[in-house]
Amino acid sequence: MENMSISQERADMSLIRTDTVMEVKNLKKYFPITTGLFGQSVSSVKAVDDVSIKIRRGETLGLVGESGCGKTTLGRCLVRLYKPLAGEILFNTTEGSGQEEIIDLAKMSGKEILPYRRHFQMIFQDPYASLNPSRTIFDTISEPIKANHLYSGKELEERVIYLMKVVGLETRYLRRYPHAFSGGQRQRVGIARALATQPRLIVADESVSALDVSIQAQIINLLKDLQAEFGLSYLFVAHDLNVVRYISHRVSVMYVGRLVETSATNELFTHPMHPYTEALLSAVPISEPDEVRHRIILQGEIPNPASPPSGCYFHPRCQYVEDICKRENPAWEEVRPEHYAACHFAKTLALRGVA
């Protein structure tokens, strides 16, 4: 027991292991609710509340949850589109065998982050809204390269052509505008733009949700190929559990701004430890018409994050609820090796996963 606590301390001291690209500790992001002429803050929406995650090199961490649970806000904090209120975002900028350099994105100002921005990029959900309609594909893909002074002139054009080939776009479209492309092709442009600066981490926020099934498969395969080729890490934010199971190595489940469970993908889907995860899994429609399923229909609605319930946020909808759940917020615990959950009864409940 004593040994364990010492090793625990040591792990904390080293902050981040070399195989970890990003480690987020106790991250908080609140949005104030203001009122009146002078915008007095009356209360706040706790969009991200005390979240800790770790993303390893070459790994995809799936982040699932329902709308309004804070998954997009968390993703945006990680690439510092939002400045978090508290917590740490430790980022390992080390490349190859070079000197390890760890920065804390949470504390840095926008200017200080600028030289590091190229290491983390984002792919957005809506390929129609996230491209500038008045700029050609070349302009769009080359912009991050120019902004980071990576290439110029002839080299720049070669680099853009290379990126287009990598994502499977025909290079003769170089000077075309986004309106001439279909949704799948536009998403490829968005991916090429994200890859342009050779990032180490890409936050993909619902990047395949808007696409048709046949096109979705193409983009998922592309994301996997790129990961294998460039050793990319992804934070894959999505609500579609089918896609998340397919693409992720590990999965975190979020509910009203808090994490409720994190584990390796297959473990989480077959042996969920949190009742919310169980309900979420049981609600996914599956394409097997003959199968009789045990479905948990959750009662009520997702609570308003501006006035969440007491204790465990899930207790008003949980079928296993006990008195303690109404009073105390459950601790984030490692229930099984590498399997974390925040539930008072994680150890005793036998929950149903998918086969």
Partner 1 sequence: MMNQTANTQPPLPILEVTDLKTYFYTNEGVLKAVDGVSFSINKEETLGLIGESGCGKSVTAHSILRIIPSPGKVIGGNIQLNLENNLIDIVGLKASGKEIRKIRGKEISMVFQEPMTSLSPVHSIGNQIREAIYLHRTQNKKEAQEIALDMLARVGIANPKQRINEYPHQLSGGMRQRAMIAMALCCHPKLLIADEPTTALDVTVQAQIIDLIKDLQQEFHMAVLYITHDLGVIAEISNRVAVMYLGRIVELGSVRNIFSNPLHPYTVRLLKSRPSIRKISGQRLESIKGNVPVPLDPQPQCGFVDRCPQAFEGCDNRIPELIELEENHWVRCFLFEKAR
Q: CA separation (Å) from 271 to 259, 263, 277, 353? A: 17, 10, 10, 5
Burial class (CB in 10 A: 0-12, 13-18, 19+), 145: buried
User: Per the structure block, which two tokens stand in for 84?
Assistant: 């978090």
Closest CA to 71 of 29, 109, 116: 29
Please give the residue ranges that form the binding site for partner 1 (CB under 8 A). Answer: 66-67, 182-185, 212-218, 220-221, 224, 239, 241-243, 245-249, 265-266, 269, 279-290, 295, 297-298, 301-302, 354-355
DSSP strand pairing (233-238 vs 60-64):
parallel
Between residues 12 and 288, which has the closer beta carbon with respect to partner 1?
A: 288
In the complex, the smallest distance separating the C-beta of residue 249 from partner 1, rounded to whole angstroms, is 8
DSSP strand pairing (339-341 vs 40-56):
unpaired
In the complex, the smallest distance separating the C-beta of residue 354 from partner 1, rounded to whole angstroms, is 5
In the complex, the smallest distance separating the C-beta of residue 304 from partner 1, rounded to whole angstroms, is 10
d(C-alpha 89, C-alpha 103), whole Å: 8
DSSP string, 223-288: HHHHHHHHT-EEEEEES-HHHHHHH-SEEEEEETTEEEEEEEHHHHHHS--SHHHHHHHHHS--S-
Between residues 151 and 303, which has the closer beta carbon with respect to partner 1?
A: 303
Between residues 81 and 180, which has the closer beta carbon with respect to partner 1?
A: 180
Q: Which phi and psi angles does 150 have, rounded to 5°?
A: -90, -45
Between residues 103 and 302, which has the closer beta carbon with respect to partner 1?
A: 302
In the complex, the smallest distance separating the C-beta of residue 260 from partner 1, rounded to whole angstroms, is 14
Between residues 41 and 221, which has the closer beta carbon with respect to partner 1?
A: 221
Q: Which phi and psi angles does 120 have, rounded to 5°?
A: -135, 130
In the complex, the smallest distance separating the C-beta of residue 5 from partner 1, rounded to whole angstroms, is 35
d(C-alpha 226, C-alpha 242), whole Å: 20
In the complex, the smallest distance separating the C-beta of residue 21 from partner 1, rounded to whole angstroms, is 20
Report the largest interatomic distance among the alpha carbons of the chain, rounded to a whole angstrom. 68
In the complex, the smallest distance separating the C-beta of residue 261 from partner 1, rounded to whole angstroms, is 15
Give the single-character DSSP code of 93: -
In the complex, the smallest distance separating the C-beta of residue 171 from partner 1, rounded to whole angstroms, is 17
The half-sphere exposure of 10 on its side-chain side, counting CA atoms within 13 A, is 6
In the complex, the smallest distance separating the C-beta of residue 73 from partner 1, rounded to whole angstroms, is 16
Closest CA to 209 of 302, 128, 298, 269: 128
Burial 240-271 (b: 16+ CB within 10 A, else e): ebebbbebbbbbbbbbbbbbbbbbebebbbeb
Between residues 54 and 71, which has the closer beta carbon with respect to partner 1?
A: 71
Between residues 302 and 335, which has the closer beta carbon with respect to partner 1?
A: 302
In the complex, the smallest distance separating the C-beta of residue 242 from partner 1, rounded to whole angstroms, is 5
Q: Which phi and psi angles does 188 have, rounded to 5°?
A: -65, -40
Q: CA separation (Å) from 270 to 55, 335, 352? A: 22, 15, 7
Between residues 224 and 271, which has the closer beta carbon with respect to partner 1?
A: 224
Between residues 2 and 290, which has the closer beta carbon with respect to partner 1?
A: 290
Between residues 92 and 277, which has the closer beta carbon with respect to partner 1?
A: 277
